[in-house]
Structure 1
Amino acid sequence: MSATKTLEAVARDRVGKGAARAVRRQGQIPAVIYGGNQAPQAIAVDLIRTRTLIYAGGFKTTLFDITVGGKKTRAIPRDFQLDPVTGVPLHVDFLRVVSGQTVTVDVPVHFLNEENAPGIKQKGGTLNVALHTLSLDVAPDQIPDAVEIDLTGRDIGDVIHVSDVKIPAGTYTGEATDTIANILPPTVLGAEVEAEEAAIAEAQSAEAAEEKAEEAEEAEGDKPADSEA
């Protein structure tokens, strides 16, 4: 399970685009804490700290103790916006966490022991991943870091469904029959491409030789005839 992290914040007394731009000029990011049957609270968090947390991965499955004016609020990120050009965080939404509630989060899927899967290691198959994350309804303090899937013994043609996997905590929000991944046979596309490229090269070579022969014939025909003695 992910450890709860701390985050310092300051209250914002103004909201809106102009106020948000002023916050960003000060090296902070506008944010809001909502939910828990309480009024939304506008806050600002440090840009560098928040950017580091976002790009470290797992940000939206991490529980935070946010300190504002000496008061701690436990919350989990629900959404964030990034500048489409620079990638700099522009805004973060946090959801208050209250006792007894669950949250829906997308937990990453990690595949283990690929080297022990004969369909991949010995037979050259490919792991085709259909679901890179699983959406779980889970208590905030039980959010797993990942759902791990052991590929040991997996062969070509094997299909891994949600029902085949142990969910560390919470409940999957989809269907048990949903496909997470399967192992495909080795593709012959590479050989086909090589053969096609070789045929094209051969045709181009033959065409070049034909053009060269025609040029030689034309040059021979342009020579002046020998005069009689």
Structure 2
Amino acid sequence: MVDFTLNAKARNDLGKGASRRLRRNADLVPAIVYGGDKAPQSVALEARELKKALENEAFYAHVISLNVDGEKQDVLLKALQRHPAKSYVMHADFLRVVAGHKVTVQVPLHFINEDVCVGVKKGGGSISHTLSEVEVSCLPKDLPEFIEVDMAKVELGQILHLSDLKLPLGVKLVSLALGDDHNLPVANVHAPRGASTSEGEAAE
């Protein structure tokens, strides 16, 4: 498991103008840290350090050690605001992690064994992904970096739903707690286009 640490400085110069100056003159990214029993705190992160961390998928679903002027606190990345055209980060939101309190986090899905999928190998089908991430609820210590979706035994025409996922101990899917109507499809193996027509012609 990767350990992530970010360094930050507290800032008192607030507002859109101050944020623009940070990004333009100091190559810093404005951010806010909130949650827990402390007041929200405005901070500034080094743009280069944040950009490097964001290149790792695990960073988005991982407890981060945020060092603000020498004081460390555990946080989760909750939101990013990117420039609409240039895609660089304009602002970041971090949620303080409190031991013993559950958190809700978007966790990526990793699809495995697609090359040996029954529906593809024997049925000639193709795999489609409906979801790429899911929202989970768990204690910080149980937070997974990703959830695996095993496609090995999925047959042609079969649809995998959220309820079919194997979750780590202590981890629950937020959608499933809302009822059966929220048991969303995750992936499926469908027949290639024209397959039904070809089969019909063969039968005739």
Both structures adopt the same fold (TM-score exceeding 0.5): yes
Question: Does the 8 Å CA contact 1:3/1:63 hold for their aligned counterparts?
Answer: no
Supply the distance in 2 between the matched residues of 1:143 and 1:17 (Cα, whole angstroms): 34
Alpha-carbon distance, 1:128 to partner? 2.1
Supply the distance in 1 between the matched residues of 2:11 and 2:45 (Cα, whole angstroms): 10
The equivalences for 1:12-23 within 5 A come to: 12-23=11-22
C-alpha deviations, 1:129-176, integer Å up to 9, x for none? 222211101222322121112222322022212222211241111136
Q: Is the aligned partner of 1:164 residue 2:164?
A: yes
Using the size of structure 1 for normalisation, the TM-score is 0.76
Q: Is the aligned partner of 1:188 residue 2:194?
A: yes
Alpha-carbon distance, 1:117 to partner? 1.4
Alpha-carbon distance, 1:37 to partner? 2.1
Question: Does the 8 Å CA contact 1:127/1:184 hold for their aligned counterparts?
Answer: yes
Question: Does the 8 Å CA contact 2:60/2:107 hold for their aligned counterparts?
Answer: no
Supply the distance in 2 between the matched residues of 1:142 and 1:23 (Cα, whole angstroms): 36
**RMSD between aligned residues:** 2.0
Supply the distance in 2 between the matched residues of 1:83 and 1:156 (Cα, whole angstroms): 42
Larger Rg computed on CA atoms: 1
SS of equivalent to 1:39: coil
- The residue that corresponds to 1:62 in the other structure is 62
Aligned residues: 190
Supply the distance in 2 between the matched residues of 1:182 and 1:36 (Cα, whole angstroms): 40
Question: Does the 8 Å CA contact 2:4/2:53 hold for their aligned counterparts?
Answer: no
Give the aligned residue type for 1:18.
G
Q: Percent identity among equivalent residues?
A: 32
- The residue that corresponds to 2:201 in the other structure is none
- The residue that corresponds to 2:99 in the other structure is 99
C-alpha deviations, 1:82-114, integer Å up to 9, x for none? 111111111111111112111111111111111
Which runs of 5 or more structure 2 residues have no equivalent in the other structure?
A: 199-204
SS of equivalent to 2:57: coil
SS of equivalent to 1:87: coil
Alpha-carbon distance, 1:48 to partner? 0.7
The equivalences for 1:1-229 within 5 A come to: 2-24=1-23, 25-168=25-168, 169-175=170-176, 177-188=183-194
Alpha-carbon distance, 1:125 to partner? 0.5
Using the size of structure 2 for normalisation, the TM-score is 0.85
Question: Does the 8 Å CA contact 2:79/2:93 hold for their aligned counterparts?
Answer: yes
Give the aligned residue type for 2:99.
S
Supply the distance in 2 between the matched residues of 1:10 and 1:129 (Cα, whole angstroms): 41
